Amino acid sequence: MTTTMTPPTDAAEQAEHAEHEERMILEAIDKWLDRDVRDKVMDLEHADEYPTEMVEQMKELGLFGATIPQEYGGLGLSATTYAKVVEKISSVWMSLTGIFNSHLIMAACVARMGTEDQRRHFLPKFASGEIRGGLALTEPDAGTDLQAIRMRAVRDGDDYVIDGTKTWISNGIYGSCFALLVKTDPEAQPRHKGMSMFIAEKGDGFTVSKKLEKMGYKGIDSAELIFENYRISADKLLGGTEGKGLQAALSGLELGRINIAARGCGIASAALMDSVSYSQIRKTFGKPICQHQAIQLKLGEMATRLQAARLLTYDAARAYDRGERCDMEAGMAKYFASEAAVENSLEAMRIHGGYGYSKEYPIERYFRDAPLMCIGEGTNEIQRMIIAKQLVERHPV
pLDDT at 3: 47
Q: What is the mean pLDDT of residues 253-274?
A: 96
Domains 133-244 and 247-394 share a fold: no
Residue, of 4 and 318, whose pLDDT is higher: 318
Residue, of 363 and 378, whose pLDDT is higher: 363
CA distance 270 to 275: 8
244, pLDDT greater than 70: yes
Is-contact 115 239, C-beta < 8 A? yes
Q: For 298-334, how does the pLDDT look when each residue is reduced to its tens digit (9 = 90+)?
A: 999 999 999 999 999 999 999 999 999 999 999 999 9
pLDDT at 266: 98
Residue 40, Cβ density class (10 Å: 0-12 exposed, 13-18 middle, ≥19 buried) = middle
pTM for this predicted structure: 0.93
CATH top class, domain 11-128: mainly alpha
4, pLDDT greater than 60: no
Which residues are known to be catalytic? 377
Residue, of 165 and 147, whose pLDDT is higher: 165
pLDDT at 7: 57
Query: Of all helices (H) and strands (E), which one includes residue 165?
Result: strand 159-170
| Vertex 221: Cα angle to 216 and 225 (nearest 5) | 125
Q: What is the CATH number of domain 247-394?
A: 1.20.140.10
pLDDT at 252: 87
Query: Of all helices (H) and strands (E), which one includes residue 347?
Result: helix 327-352
389, pLDDT greater than 70: yes
Is-contact 282 288, C-beta < 8 A? yes
Task: Report residue 48 CA to chain centroid gap.
Answer: 19
Domain positions in the chain are 11-128, 133-244, 247-394
Whose CA is closest to 72, among 33, 15, 110?
A: 110
pLDDT at 12: 77
Q: What is the mean pLDDT of residues 221-243?
A: 97
pLDDT at 393: 95
Q: What is the mean pLDDT of residues 42-57?
A: 97
Q: For 194-207, how does the pLDDT look when each residue is reduced to its tens digit (9 = 90+)?
A: 999 999 999 999 99
Q: What is the mean pLDDT of residues 224-248?
A: 97
Q: What is the mean pLDDT of residues 267-274?
A: 98
What fold, for 133-244?
Answer: Butyryl-CoA Dehydrogenase, subunit A; domain 2 (2.40.110)
DSSP 8-state class, residue 139: B
